[in-house]
Structure 1
């Protein structure tokens, strides 16, 4: 199969590229070239800016992709541009979305006034009623225009002419994570602190996670299986642990034997507090992609934690800036 990836050199993308190449697929990446990520031999590179896809149609036609995978669909206009550009050129598209499309996520951030819903989130669960969640709350054009919901609508707008697949990702962790989600806890373990304090609401909060190589494998399953056409899938681990258990599991793999304490907000520094509505869980039902596409994790949970710890201990926080 011939696969064109928009992005592909940041956090999750390199693992997707590697797995596709290992399976024998022909891969090209289209991006700005701002990353020094080393791609596998044989991967074609098309340099360009997705803000003006029409300039590169001749190169896209030459590569002749069967599937276009968009790793970085942040804005509606960009998603629509992909659909317009590749209609009649590719057979199918795959879009990387997020669990932030769900109403539950809006409830966490105080943007949905409906009562807390403890139900497991399926692909048919309600989406947010308010778009552009960060508009006005954060500064910058990105936050004014970011929203995955309009992007999903664009990718699913041509079910017969250009079928689309949507993958709604969980919290992703592992090597190349530019958010360094576990770094602060690992640093404390390195310092051999006897106690790690978590705000009690955060310690009890449940949000489905996924190790990066496993998430990449789910993406590859969707890219290479035509049964994924016009389907939406949640992706993530089968068990959603409270965050305190995540920290404990990291400690176990690290060899740390200290205590984890759940404390009131006022006992923590400002940077470690949250006012989010963490009574609302984000627990994904990921059975559909497992049942329909045969997806299962390729890296065991404990091994994923070990690889994450090793990477965090050997990588400077400033080394990664590209999220594609």
Structure 2
């Protein structure tokens, strides 16, 4: 297959790119060339900016692809550009949506692809829903060959998965744990969550490339391992070699005393128990199985960061925000174990 990834070097897509090349796919990456260290050997890079429609059309005009995957489409305007660029030029277009678009609050903790799409708490999710609606309309009206994939919380070596964290300086959380400084766990830490390693996600995703039965379908791809947030932070502490000192604070309190937008992802996604029924991806890709448990995956992440000390940076503003929340809440921290 000849496949185009728009992006292809991000947190999730870097593992998919690597596996696709390993499986003999002729892979092209169309991006701005800013993360070359994550381009797998054997992939061909087309330098360009998908946000510049005329430029993208000119660069891609002589190409046709069996599959096009846009890893960086977030708004209806983005996918409308893709529809115009790739109609008649691909047999399958895969849109990367988000499992955060599923109904919040959910009627059931168990999420299937038939769970309604509704998230009044997070604009990111509402934009993904609008993208899905536009693409499915194009599929119904003109046969645009769309497949929708909904990842949930997917991480890899270059990420330290957590809920309330500094996205620009994720090492800050590890630094606080190792120094014995308190961290915050939302709620009482017992809501259920699903973390998926990007190498596991890649197995399911690559199996969908060129799959005729995936056209017109929406599929989520997640691990079957379910943990609560106390276990997740305890696992992070075990990987860091220090027992976390935790303060449990309600999501409402966190939202009330942080800058606007800070807690949107928490309210609109991570604070709600989410367990995924993966029957659909397993039916389409029978050899899909996740083999990286969180306790192993997070060790890989910390090892990767420690091998890149220039990225082990601390965010003083985020750390001050955590300290302020804890002081306002007035609760003493307590140690947390994997079985809390």
Class of the TM-score when normalised by the shorter of the 2 chains: 0.7 to 0.9
CA distance in 2, matches of 1:36, 1:202: 41
* Matches of 1:35 and 1:279, distance apart in 2: 32
Q: Which string of whole-angstrom CA distances, capped at 9 and with x for unpartnered residues, describes residues 106-132 of structure 1?
A: x4xxxxxxxx634311111111165x9
**Residue 132 of structure 2: SS of its match in structure 1?**
helix
Kindly indicate whether residue 9 of structure 2 is the aligned counterpart of residue 29 of structure 1. no
CA RMSD of aligned residues (A): 3.3
What is the distance in 1 between the residues matched to 2:3 and 2:189?
41
1:65 to 1:313, Cα distance in 2 relative to 1, 3 A: same
- Any stretches of 5+ residues in structure 1 without a counterpart? 108-115, 135-142, 320-324
Q: Distance in 1 between matches of 2:51 and 2:80?
A: 11
Of 196, 208, 213, the match for 2:199: 213
Question: Please, what TM-score do these two structures have when normalized by structure 1?
Answer: 0.77
- In the superposition, the TM-score normalised over structure 2's length comes to 0.74
Q: Tell me, what secondary structure is at the counterpart of 2:95?
A: strand
Deviation at 1:174, TM superposition (A): 2.3
- Partners of 1:228 and 1:40 in 2: CA distance: 26
Q: Identify which of 138, 149, 157 aligns with 1:167.
A: 149
2:116 is matched with 126
Partner of 1:112: none
Does residue 152 of structure 1 match 2:132?
A: yes
Q: 1:296 aligns with which of 289, 310, 323?
A: 289
Q: How does 1:302-317 map to 2 (within 5 A)?
A: 302-315=295-308, 316=311
Q: Give deviations 1:260-297, integer Å, cap 9, x for gaps.
A: 54535689xx6799684877323222221122212212
Indicate the SS of the match to 2:176.
Answer: helix
Alignment correspondent of 1:111: none
TM superposition shift of 1:56: 3.5
Bigger shift: residues 299-308 or 237-246:
299-308
Post-superposition CA distance 1:122-172 (Å, at most 9, x none): 111111165x943xxxxxxxx7x9711121123322256332111111112
Whether contact under 8 Å (1:180, 1:317) holds in the other structure is: no
Mark the CA change 1:187 to 1:314 in structure 2 (over 3 Å): closer, same or farther.
Answer: farther
Give 1:68 deviation, angstroms.
0.1
The CA deviation string for residues 155-193 of structure 1, in whole angstroms up to 9 with x for no partner, is 3222563321111111122222383796344223433x3
Conserved? CA contact 2:190–2:230, under 8 Å: yes
- Counterpart of 1:286 in structure 2 is 278
SS in 2 for 1:66: strand
> Cα distance, 1:37 vs. partner?
2.8
Mark the CA change 1:150 to 1:263 in structure 2 (over 3 Å): closer, same or farther.
closer
What is the Cα deviation at residue 222 of structure 1?
1.9
The 5-angstrom pairing of residues 21-60 of structure 1 reads: 21-57=21-57, 59-60=59-60
Larger relative contact order (Cα-Cα within 8 Å, sequence gap ≥ 6): 1
Q: Is the 8 A contact 2:68 2:92 kept in 1?
A: yes
Which one is further off, 278-287 or 25-34?
278-287
Distance 1:147 1:6 in 2: 19
Looking at structure 1, the residues matched to 74 and 188 of structure 2 have their Cα atoms a distance apart, in angstroms, of: 27
- The 1-side partners of 2:169 and 2:223 are apart by 17
Q: Where does the alignment leave 5 or more consecutive residues of structure 2 unmatched?
A: 161-166, 315-340
Q: CA deviation at 1:13?
A: 2.0
1:90 and 2:90 correspond:
yes
Query: Matched residue of 2:52: which SS?
Result: helix
